[in-house]
Chain A
Amino acid sequence: MRVRNVQRRAGEEVELQMTPMIDVVFQLLTFFIFSFKIVSPEGDFNIKMPLAAPSEGRPDDNLLPPIKVRLTARSNGALTQIRFGNRSLGSGREAFDGLRQAVRDMVGDEPGPSVLESTEVELDCDYQLRYEYVVEAITAVSGYVDEGRVVKLIEKIKFAPPHRGPA
C-alpha cells in the first residue's frame, strides 16, 4: 500500500534536487536586477486654483490681500528680476534667498497656523519665464529647511493671469 511505501522511503536518505530550485532562483534574481532602476523621489506643491471669478463677488474679511511676487523674464526665459510687493530683490540665487527672508520677516519666524492660513501669495510671472524659476520661487515662499527640519511658511499660492511681458 501507499502508506507503507512512504514509510519505507522515509527511512532512506532523501536526495533533495537542488538544480531546479537554483534555476528558478537565478531567474528571479536576473528579473529583479533588470527591472531595477534608481528613481529619485518626487514631491508635490499643492495649488488650489478655483476659477478666478468669485473673489470679486464677496471679499473675505479674514483674508488679507495676497502678497504679490512679480517675476520678470528676458525673451529667452532667463530671470531678470523678482519684485516682492514694491521692493526689488534682484535676480539670481540671492533673489530667492531674499524672497524667503522677506516672507519670513512678514509672517514671523515661528508663525502660528492662523497667520499662515490668512496669508496668500500671488505669483505674477512673465509668459516666457522658465518654469524652474517658478518652482524655485514657490519653494522659497512655502518654507525652508532648518537643520534637517522643514519649516513651513505660506501654503496658499496662486497665479496671477498670464502676463505677456516684452516678447
Chain B
Amino acid sequence: MRYTSRQMGEGAKVDMTPMIDMTFLLIAFFMVVVSFSEADQNERITLPLSELAKPPDAPLETPITLHLTDAGTVLIGAKEVDVVQLAKELSLERQLLQARGDESAQKATIIIRADRAAKTGEVQEVIEVCQKTGFDKFALRAKQESS
C-alpha cells in the first residue's frame, strides 16, 4: 500500500521521549519503595499481630536479633541453636561488644522475634538466658495489624 511503503522508505522515527519518561518514573518508584533491610527478618517466623506495633522512630542502638521458631529453636545470625547453646553464643556476642570499648554492651537491645505459635515459656527462657549473660533491654517484635 502507499501508506506503508512510504513509511518504510523514510526510515520511521519513533518518539522516545514519553517512553523514557515513563521508564524513569518506574525506576524512581521502585527505588523509593525497595527495602534492603531484610537482614533482620526471617521467612520461617510468623510474627504475632498487634495494632499498636508501630515501627520505631529511631533505630535501636546495637540491636541483637533473636528469632524463636515454633519448634523452640533460636536463630542467631545464620546459626540455629537451642536455648542451652544460646548462652554460649550470647556471651561471645557480649565479649565482642565489650571489646569495642564503648558502652555498646550496656546499651544493647535484644530484639525477640518469636513465632506466634511459640510457647510463652520458651520466650521467657530466652529472656532468662539473656539476663544471665548481662543484657536487660528487650523488645518483643510484632507485625503491625492493619485495622
A131 contacts which of B52, B53, B118, B128 (Cβ < 8 Å)? B118
Q: Contact residues of B with A, CB < 8 Å? A: 16, 20, 23-24, 26-27, 30-31, 33-36, 38, 41, 47-56, 60, 68, 111, 114-121, 123-125, 127-128, 131-132, 136-144, 146-147
B20 contacts which of A22, A132, A136, A150 (Cβ < 8 Å)? A22
The segment out of A24-32, A62-70, A84-92, A110-118 that lies at the interface is A24-32
The segment out of A2-10, A34-42, A101-109 that lies at the interface is A34-42
Name 21 A/B residue pairs within 8 A (Cβ), A-sorted: A28-B27, A29-B30, A32-B30, A32-B34, A35-B34, A41-B53, A42-B55, A43-B55, A43-B141, A43-B144, A45-B140, A47-B139, A49-B138, A51-B136, A131-B117, A132-B116, A134-B120, A135-B116, A145-B51, A150-B52, A164-B121
A128 contacts which of B38, B49, B115, B119 (Cβ < 8 Å)? B119
Contact mask A134-167 → B, CB, 8 Å, 1/0?
1110110011110000100000000101111000
Given A33-B30, A49-B136, A162-B125, residue A150 in contact with residue B54 (CB < 8 A): yes
A46 contacts which of B30, B55, B139 (Cβ < 8 Å)? B139
Given A48-B136, A49-B131, residue A127 in contact with residue B30 (CB < 8 A): no
Compute how far the CA of A40 lies from the CA of B36 in the bound complex, rounded to whole angstroms: 13
Q: Contact residues of A with B, CB < 8 Å? A: 18, 21-22, 25-26, 28-29, 32-33, 35-37, 39-51, 71, 73, 77, 125-136, 138-139, 142-145, 150, 159, 161-164
Does A39 lie within 8 Å of B123, measured CB to CB? Answer: no
Q: In the assembled complex, how far is the CB of residue A39 from the closest CB belonging to chain B, in whole angstroms? A: 6
Compute how far the CA of A46 lies from the CA of B112 in the bound complex, rounded to whole angstroms: 10
Which residues from B are CB-within-8-Å of A21?
Answer: 20
Does B47 lie within 8 Å of A32, measured CB to CB? Answer: no
Does A44 lie within 8 Å of B141, measured CB to CB? Answer: yes
Interface of A, helix, strand, loop or mixed by DSSP: mixed
Given A25-B24, A29-B26, A47-B139, residue A135 in contact with residue B34 (CB < 8 A): no
Which residues from B are CB-within-8-Å of A139?
Answer: 50-53, 142
For B137, the closest partner residue in chain A by CB is A48
Does B120 lie within 8 Å of A125, measured CB to CB? Answer: yes
Does A39 lie within 8 Å of B30, measured CB to CB? Answer: no
Which residues from A are CB-within-8-Å of B41?
Answer: 39
Most B-side CB within 10 Å, residue of A21, A32, A127: A32
Q: In the assembled complex, how far is the CB of residue A56 from the closest CB belonging to chain B, in whole angstroms? A: 16
